[in-house]
Amino acid sequence: TDDPKNTDDPKNTDDPKNTDDPDNPNPGPETPTDPDNPNPGPESPTDPDNPNPGDETPESPTDPTSKKVLMGDVDGDGEITANDAVMILRASIELEDFDDLQNFVGDVDGDGVITANDAVEVLRGSIDLVEFEWVDYPAAV
């Protein structure tokens, strides 16, 4: 009865069919406890304030007069895409009007002017050749 392969031994805890646990008469694969996330895994969020811990989305700014913005993200969707590059290119030839926030995030080279160079860099960012940062945008720019 001390044989570890003996599955008839009720003390054998390695046996998945061991039903000696009165609280769990049908042991099996661990069942998820979160009804909103039926397939928890190592990447499952544990912090309710940050549901996407792997995301690059920043924390809330500490300065109440500013907010975090992603450089290059002129459409404000939280991602750098070809659409952002197209919008910047259109703004560089005055086919699109940008507000102050869009002018700030669209000027990725920091020269103070929206140009085709900004559009090219954002397009490169859309295919992960360059990485853009989240920065504080003051509310009173």
User: For 97-107, what is each residue's pLDDT tens digit?
Assistant: 999 999 999 99
Segment 123-141 shows an average pLDDT of: 87
pLDDT of residue 100: 94
In a 3-state reduction of DSSP, which class is residue 85?
helix
Q: How far apart are CA 93 and CA 118, in angstroms?
A: 12
Whether 53 has a pLDDT exceeding 80, the answer reads: no
User: For 63-88, what is each residue's pLDDT tens digit?
Assistant: 566 789 999 999 999 999 999 999 99
The answer to whether 56 touches 134, Cβ cutoff 8 Å, is yes
